[in-house]
Chains A and B, each alone.
Chain A
Amino acid sequence: MSNNTYDAIVIGSGISGGWAAKELTERGLKTIMLERGKNIEHITGYVTANKDPWEFKYRLSRSQQMLNDHPVLKRDYVLSEANLDYWVNEHESPYTEVKPFDWFRGYHVGGRSLMWGRQSYRWSDLDFEANGKDGVGVDWPIRYADLAPWYSHVEKFAGISGSKEGLSQLPDGEFLPAMEMNCVEKDVSARINSQYKDLRKMIIGRTANITVPHNGRTNCQYRNKCALGCPFGGYFSTQSSTLPAAMATGKLTLRPFSIVTKILYDKDTKKAKGVEVLDAETNQTYEYYAKVVFVCASTLNSAWVLMNSATDIWPGGLGSSSGELGHNLMDHHFKCGANGEMEGYEDKYYYGRRANGIYIPRFRNIGNDKRDYIRGFGYQGSASRSGWHREIAEMGIGADFKEALTEPGGWSMGIGAFGETLPYHENHMYLDKTKKDKWGLPTIAIDAEIKENEKKMRVDMMADAKEMLEIAGVKNVKTYDTGYTLGAGIHEMGTARMGRDPKTSVLNKWNQVWDAQNVYVTDGASMASTACQNPSLTYMALTARAVDHAVSELKKRNI
């Protein structure tokens, strides 16, 4: 039994789990990180990362076999022969869509930190105060001041490049040098900033790609192949950053193929004493014990672990006493915006492939602006010159056609919005005990959808994009709404929300489960609202803050 006893257990090895492991081990705790999937080693595990375009059999198209094997993943750009190995085997791990829900999962060491979009933004009090002010969901139990030092802490280590802008709705951070806008983006930005007198601003994206060498990692090489894993360590991932730091302490054990099936709850101490693990390769069951458990299995799976635990005491699972566990499932809604063509820059081009774009922070429902919906959205986008994919209908075929396609085409500029989704109690997931996965475990059923507030917002998401691009001189601007399914933003949040009251929330202000205070949930499950900014930086900050609290509570023998 002593071999299975640690100071801390971390469930999951993605962005949040990696941070938990790093912080716990650096504070001296002997920690085991349990990952349900296979290991992927930094650099040597990125088997496609140095492949040239012609080395991909289908040249990044999709085979019928890929489509058959990935009925969910194929719904979006994420299905690619370039990193097929980084996505879940859907046949082994099915789920049920009571209403359509795109669930794109990465079951391996590093989780989705290997394939994430890397956009990294602080939230502000506009976000943390919103639920309380609007009477929506529950009031966040923390404010920006609680998290600001932890944002700094994680930014300094992760390495976030960006520009300081002094915007209250998008606080500045500890930035590495910003990436550069291209010539069209610079001019579009200047025109937007001047037209809206800085009420709307177009800035360079803040991204977890390092622009200078950082903590022993090589700076971004502008290959734009991040999603294959970066052999240079040019972007933040568990593998490039938190895992080596945790390993360097000598205190971390990483155990892949370890599906945590439940948290072991001790009725007498009212605390968790450990977890039960099913070895995904051998089907053997093990128990691991620790003083504290960090649940970082990703929003839906963290709720799954809780729901599958302590059911003899709470039928709905550990942390279910409020009736909110598994509820308030959220995402960012997107896939609408506008794009058009930009003339007058035919004598300019760019060098390198910048894995980053521009960002237009939220401007709706701020100050005197009042819309027929609450909250708001931000835009991501970029300008570029087209390549050989473009249609040159009039040129037909032959030598002239070929030569024309070897030159770049015209410039275009597009922006797409990411909007806040409100927490709705009825948007929820639950355990489906009749449908089992490969290991005989109950699966997740998801019953959630966007509602009127989001739908109204989408009208502005298109119209504002058109207005700004036209003001900036972009021609032939067309709006689009290509349709959005909840989950497609890959920003699942909210299934074990933080709050001030154990009757209406699953976690307290330190991310502790109200019903078992040595269990911390610090991933997207803990979010009480979504804001409109990309959420991962906030998971990092919440995780580091929660570890600090846990270590302090352990010292005081409070947990």
Chain B
Amino acid sequence: MGGTLIGMDYLVSGCQNPAAKNVSVLFDKDHVKFLDEVGDTIIPKTKTPGAKDVHIGAFMAMMVKDCYKADDQQIFMKGIAKLNDECNKQNGKDFLACTPAQRTAFLNALDKEQVAYTKTKTEDQPNHYFRMIKELTLLGYFTSEPGCTQALRYLPVPGKFEGSIPYKKGDKAWAT
């Protein structure tokens, strides 16, 4: 995902869009529930909690509302509908009505589309809505308390530094 997240760009100095809509009215409970399920398909519950367990839908809604530029907000909101439409086309039913296996297969394909699109897209072209959803899911999950302390290893106060400790496959990464 690199260092720079969509919409929360570090170094863009252009002016903000004054026509920014208040999107808080755009996110309703159904959106949040929908995003919970999409997020949980990206980061499912395994031995450790999944994205839904950290309320990823509400996190995404808050981030889009507060941190995204107006045009990215619009892409995101339209993306929610588009994701469900695409799912209907492929599976003949809403995303929420799909089985976990169908959801995973569908989002895997959508992710491939997003990866291919993002690789070739120029700066002027719009961001892909699924990249936004994926980025926010990873950010929200891996910086959450369960993400830091269960999926990863978290040391609030390491107390010392050692420049070389053994690592074996399966050992968790440090959260920070």
Which residues of A come within 8 Å of B, CB atoms? Answer: 50, 52-54, 56-65, 67-68, 71, 74-77, 79, 179-183, 185-186, 221-224, 346-354, 385, 387-391, 393, 396-399, 401-403, 405-409
Contacts and interface: CB of A to CB of B under 8 A. Distances in A.
Nearest to B115: A393
B173 A407 contact: yes
Contacts, number: 180
A406 B152 contact: yes
A527 B84 CA distance: 63
Contacts of B172: 406-407
A180 B163 CA distance: 6
Interface string B81-111: 0000000000000000000000010011001
Contacts of B142: 387-388, 405
Instruction: State the main secondary structure of chain B at its contact with A.
Output: loop
A539 to B, nearest CB: 28
B19 interface: no
A475 B152 CA distance: 28
Contacts of B157: 221, 223
Contacts of B156: 50, 52, 223
A224 B163 CA distance: 15
A396 B159 CA distance: 37
B35 to A, nearest CB: 14
Interface string B140-165: 10111101100110111111111111
7 contacts: A63-B66, A63-B67, A64-B20, A347-B167, A354-B163, A391-B2, A396-B107
Given A388-B173, A397-B104, A398-B108, 19 more contacts: A50-B156, A54-B143, A54-B144, A62-B67, A64-B68, A181-B163, A185-B163, A222-B160, A224-B176, A347-B167, A349-B165, A352-B158, A352-B161, A387-B175, A393-B115, A397-B134, A401-B43, A402-B151, A408-B173
A390 B147 CA distance: 16
B77 interface: no
Contacts of A182: 163-164
B167 to A, nearest CB: 4
A357 to B, nearest CB: 12
Contacts of B159: 221-222, 352
A61 B139 contact: yes
B8 A62 contact: yes
Q: Which residue of A57, A352, A390 has the most chain B CB atoms within 10 A of its CB atom?
A: A352
B160 A74 contact: no
* Chain A interface, DSSP helix/strand/loop, else mixed: loop
A399 B173 contact: no
Contacts of B168: 347
Nearest to A60: B143
B173 A406 contact: yes
B114 to A, nearest CB: 10
B31 interface: no
B79 interface: no
B46 A399 contact: yes
B66 A54 contact: no
Contacts of B170: 407
Contacts of B134: 397
A343 to B, nearest CB: 14
Nearest to A384: B174
A390 B1 contact: yes
Given A74-B10, A388-B138, A388-B152, A221 B67 contact: no
Given A58-B63, A61-B67, A75-B13, A387 B173 contact: yes
A59 B140 contact: yes
A352 B10 contact: no
Given A64-B20, A347-B166, A348-B164, A407 B155 contact: no
**Nearest 8 Cβ contacts at the A-B interface:** A352-B158, A182-B163, A352-B161, A183-B164, A349-B167, A408-B173, A59-B143, A351-B162
